Structure 1
Amino acid sequence: MPKKLNSVQIRVRSICRREFERDVYRPGVISLSRLVWGSLGSCLVLAAISLLSKAAGIAVLFPPLAATCFINSSCVYLRVARPKPVIVGHFVSSIGGLAGVWTGELLAGDTDFVIPLKLSLTLLYAAVLMQVFDADHPPAAATAVIPAVLPLPMPAWLFPLYMAWGATLTVLFALVWNRIWLEFPAKDDDHRVKYAGLYMTRAQVWGMALCLLSMVLMSCKHIVPALYFLGLGGMTLGVLLLGTHHFVEALITRKAGNH
C-alpha cells in the first residue's frame, strides 16, 4: 500500500507497468520503479556518453548532460524531458554561453567584474534563446555558464554541435530505455496526436531523426572524416528544424486564419 508522508508518497510495490504511469512515476513519489529504473538509466546513459565521447574524439561537458540523464530517466513526464528541449536547449545554450563570454570580456576585460559579468550574461542569453526556440531545459543553463569559468575541451565553434551530439545520445537512450515501460515522449496537452508512433509533431520527428543520423555520422570522426563533417552539417540542420518549426507553424496558422 502507498504511504503518504506530508507531501511525499512512498510506494512499496514491485516494479510493474502500473508503477510507470504519470500519477506515480514522478517527483514527489518514492518508489522502487524510480529508485531502480530511473537511477540505473541515468548512470548507464552517462557511462555510455563518456565511453563514446572518448572513442569518437568528441568532447562534451558532462555536468549538464548528467542532469539531462537524470531528467530523461526519472522525470520523463515533464516537458523539459522531451527530445526537442533536450537537443535544442543544449545547442542554443552553448551559443548563449559563447556570446556571454565574448560580451563579458569585451565590457569588463581584465577587471574583477569579468567573471560575474560573464556568468550573468551567459545565463541571460541562454534563458532568452531557450524560450525563443521553445527549448526550456534547465540542465542546459549549466552548459551556458561553464565556459565563463572553465576552458572548453573543444574549439568554440564546435561547442554547440558537440553538446547537441551528447544531448542526442541521451534522447536515443531515453527512447529505448523508457519505452520498455511507458510512452516516451509522453502525451501532453500540446502533443495528443502520434506521428511515426511518437507523441511528436511531424517536424519534431524528422528533426530528431536527422539529429540521430548526424550523431552516428559524427561518431565516425576517426574512421571516415568525411562522414564526420557531413554529420556536423546534418546536426545543424536537424537542430534548426527542431528549433524553428513552431515559427513556420505559427505563420501557416495565421495565414489560414486570415482566409
Structure 2
Amino acid sequence: MQKKLNSVQIRLCSIKRREFQRDVYRPGVISLSRLVWGSLGGGLLLTIIGILSKTTGIAVLFPPLAATCFINSTCVYLRVARPKSVIVGHFVASIGGLAGVLAGDFLAGGTDFAVSLKLGLAVLFAAVLMQIFDADHPPAAATAAIPAILPLPMSMYLFPVYMAWGATITVLFALAWNRVWFEYPASDEEHRTRHAGLFMDKAQILGLGLCAMSFALMCCKLVAPNFYYVGIWLMTIGVVVLGSHHFYELLRIDSDEGINEIRRLCEKN
C-alpha cells in the first residue's frame, strides 16, 4: 500500500530490496522497512555499545551516540551518516566541548552565566571544528555540550578518543547491518568509485581501517593494557588520516595546477 499525505509518503510494502533505495528509505517516508529494519538496527546498536562499554571499561556518552545510532540505521543516505562524519565529528566535537568549558570558566567562572556561556562556546567551537575537518555530524554537538553541564565519566584527555571508539562501533555495525540490503556508505556526487568495495576515498578507507584496528586493541583495556595504550594512539592517527585527507587533496590539486602553469609559461617562452 502506498499513500501520499502532503509531504509525507506512506509505504506499507513488504520488506524487500526496492524499499531500501535512496528515494524511499529516507525521512519523509513512513515505510515498513524503516520502521522494522531501521528501528531494530538503532536499538540493537546502542545495546551493543552499552555492553561493550561495560565489559571493556571504556566509558562513553550515550545520548549523542544514541542519535548517531538512529542516523546510521534510518538516515544512512545522508552525508552526516558517512564514516568520516561520524568518527571525526565526535572526536573533534569532544575537543571543541572541552575548549568551550575551559574558555567559559576563564571568562565567567563563578558567575550565574558560566554554564550558559560554556554551552554556547562548546557548540560554537565544535561547529567550527566539524566544518574545518569536513565532519558535520549533528549528534556530535551534544557530545560537545554535555561536558558543560555534567561531569565526564572519563579523563578529559581520553574523552575525544573514547568517543571516537564509540563512534567507530556505530560505523562498523552500520557496515554489517545496512549492507544486507544496500551499499553503506552510499555513493554520492563525490564518491562514485569503489575502493576496497566501498564508496570511499583510499585515504578514508585507510583511516577507517586504523580506527577499526584501534577499536579492537582498546577493547583489551582490562586484559592487556599495553594493547589498549597502542590502540589509543592508533585511534588518534586514524582520526587524523580520516579528518585531514581533504587538505592533502587540496594541496595536491594546487600543486598540479602550479606545475601546469609553469609548463604553459615555459612553452610560451
Identify whether the pair has TM-score above 0.5, normalized to the shorter chain: yes
- Quote the residue 2:237 is aligned against: 237
State the one-letter code of the partner of 1:190.
E
Matches within 5 A, 1:108-187: 108-187=108-187
How many angstroms apart in 2 are the aligned matches of 1:237 and 1:2? 48
Corresponding residue for residue 199 of structure 1: 199
Amino acid at match of 1:186: A
- Give the CA RMSD over aligned residues: 0.4
Aligned to 1:72: 72
Q: Which residue of 2 aligns with 1:99?
A: 99
CA apart distance, 1:257: 1.2
What TM-score do the two structures reach when normalised by structure 1?
Answer: 1.00
Structure 1 residue identity aligned to 2:179: R
One-letter amino acid of the counterpart of residue 243, structure 2:
G
SS of 2:127's partner is: helix
Which residue identity lines up with residue 193 of structure 1 in the other structure?
A: T
Q: Which contiguous aligned blocks of 4+ residues in structure 1 show a shift greater than 2 angstroms?
A: none
| C-alpha displacement of 1:2 | 1.3
Q: CA deviation at 1:147?
A: 0.3
Larger CA Rg, structure 1 vs 2: 2
Shift in Å, 1:109: 1.1
**3-state SS of 1:203 partner:** helix
Q: What secondary structure sits across from 2:68 in the alignment?
A: helix
In structure 2, C-alpha distance between the alignment counterparts of 1:91 and 1:4, rounded to whole Å: 40
Cα distance in structure 1, aligned partners of 2:158 and 2:238: 15
Provide the C-alpha distance between the structure 2 equivalents of 1:179 and 1:223, rounded to a whole number of angstroms: 32
Question: For residue 22 of structure 1, what is the amino acid of its counterpart?
Answer: R
TM-score (norm 2): 0.96
- Counterpart of 2:37? 37
In 2, distance between residues paired with 1:173 and 1:127?
A: 26
Unaligned runs of 5+ in 1: none
Q: Distance in 2 between matches of 1:225 and 1:27?
A: 43
Secondary structure at 2:94 match in 1:
helix
